[in-house]
Amino acid sequence: MPIDLGFLEPIDDTFDFSDITLSRLGGLPQWLNPTSPPTVDRIRCGECNQPMRQLFQMYAPDDEVEGAYERLLHVFVCGTAGACQRAGWTKSVKVLRAQCAEALERERGEGKESCVVCGSKAPFRCAQCSKASYCSKEHQALDWKEGGHKGACNSNSDGTATETRQKFMFPLMEVVSDAEPTEDKPLKNVKIEEIPQTMDESELAQMGIKPSKETYQKTEGDRFFLKFQRRLERDPDQILRYTRNVEEGEGDVTLWLSEHNRLEKKDVKNCEGCGGERTLELQLLPTVLSHLGEWGLYNDWGLINIYSCDKTCEESLKDGYAEELVWHQEVSKEGVGYATDKPEPPKKQAEQKEEDEDEE
């Protein structure tokens, strides 16, 4: 089977938030079992320990696995302005997998078991109105100060203040998929000096570049970027690449931005539940950042690779959720396309206060 590409489409009034078969960017999680969401500790950032927000939710059933008749992937990212972003096995992005052997009946709308800020398990309720549920005291305080609950509490509303809470979430958009085109488009605006000297004529011909006898003085890292560019140009609007269904005979389908910080297959840890291999399930591309508002301006990832249990085993599920692995490849300062005009992240209040005191 070919690689499936993911694209974003705006939602309208017909979008059914409770339909888990609709993959989406942003918004609150819609859990496979809404009466049993994960605890907030499962979605805390490994760097700053703050609860993370859902970036992406994908419906990815596996017909060949008995226990994965319905299967969801939830991708969470730290809400800080790039401060926790690290290359390699990142702790500021987490992926939870949930699955079941048969369809579950669900109630429409937000479950009362979920935190109104992040969607995780909510053991706390507002003591005054008993309408809003929270995963932690910190999210209860955040919702009171910035989420609009202070004005909605004990009023005639339902206490949700959902419009104000949108600031805690990424913009909600539907993710639709289509098979990747099989043919490369002619490469545009590629300078001769960008072609690496290590590429032979057959490689150049496959990429639509006319071979030349000229000697090139560039590093091997360019070949990975050129391949990435070629595949992206097949459909520039793609924001993800889903590779789990690709047949083994297709070879390595992983795209890389450069030779630096690449991951070898032997370095991917096996599943803790069944001991089987983890394989690349999908890649989130940097093209998604332009759809994430201010957060996207302060985060400059190259690729987010998600590696999941090849058997999508039930043994790795803990309280209904298995955490899979995430590899982050940064955009190198030496690489092509590095964003030199990336804005500086806003300073934390404590840091700003120390600077103000020093100036005085």
Alpha carbon distance 324, 88 (integer Å): 14
Structure tokens, 270: 């096996």
**Statement to judge: residues 222 and 335 lie in one domain:** no
Q: Identify residue 114 by its one-letter amino acid code.
A: S
**Statement to judge: residues 216 and 271 lie in one domain:** no
Q: CA torsion, points 267, 272, 276, 282, in degrees to nearest 10?
A: -60
**Statement to judge: residues 275 and 149 lie in one domain:** yes
**Statement to judge: residues 141 and 36 lie in one domain:** yes
Cα separation of the two ends of the chain: 65
Alpha carbon distance 319, 322 (integer Å): 8
Alpha carbon distance 123, 137 (integer Å): 10
Alpha carbon distance 3, 24 (integer Å): 19
**Statement to judge: residues 106 and 54 lie in one domain:** yes
Structure tokens, 176: 């639709």
Alpha carbon distance 282, 338 (integer Å): 23
Q: How many domains in the chain? A: 2
Look at residue 94 in the predicted model and tell me its pLDDT. 96
**Statement to judge: residues 96 and 141 lie in one domain:** yes
Alpha carbon distance 273, 267 (integer Å): 18
**Statement to judge: residues 149 and 201 lie in one domain:** no
Look at residue 112 in the predicted model and tell me its pLDDT. 60
Structure tokens, 15: 């979008």
Alpha carbon distance 122, 85 (integer Å): 27
Contact between 62 and 100 (Cβ < 8 Å): no
**Statement to judge: residues 278 and 149 lie in one domain:** yes
Q: How confident is the chain (360 residues) per 10-residue block, as mean pLDDT?
A: 92 91 94 92 94 95 90 93 85 95 61 83 90 90 87 66 74 95 63 50 56 44 82 94 80 85 92 95 94 82 93 94 95 46 46 53
Contact between 257 and 302 (Cβ < 8 Å): yes
What is the radius of gyration, based on Cα positions, of the chain? Answer: 22
Backbone angles phi, psi at 279, to 5 degrees: -125, 160
Quote the domain boundaries for residue 127.
Answer: 4-180+235-359
Look at residue 301 in the predicted model and tell me its pLDDT. 81
Measured CA distances, 262 to 217, 231, 256 (Å): 22, 18, 7
Other C-beta atoms lying within 10 Å of the C-beta of residue 277: 14
Q: CA torsion, points 289, 291, 292, 298, in degrees to nearest 10?
A: 40
**Statement to judge: residues 210 and 329 lie in one domain:** no
**Statement to judge: residues 48 and 132 lie in one domain:** yes
Look at residue 207 in the predicted model and tell me its pLDDT. 55
Helix boundaries (H) for 129-260: 137-145, 149-152, 162-165, 201-206, 221-232
**Statement to judge: residues 126 and 160 lie in one domain:** yes
Alpha carbon distance 67, 61 (integer Å): 10
**Statement to judge: residues 52 and 146 lie in one domain:** yes
- Which residue's structure tokens are 């590899």? 327
Bridge partners, 324 (sequence order): 95
One-character DSSP codes across 251-304 = ------SSSTT---GGGSPPPTTT---EEEEEEE-GGGGGGSHHHHHH--EEEE
Alpha carbon distance 197, 174 (integer Å): 42
Last residue of a domain, one of 234, 251, 268: 234
Give the SS3 label for residue 291. Answer: helix
pTM value?
0.81
Buried residues in 233-268 as b, exposed as e (16+ CB within 10 A): eeeeebbbbbbbebeeeeeeebbbbbbbbbbeeeeb
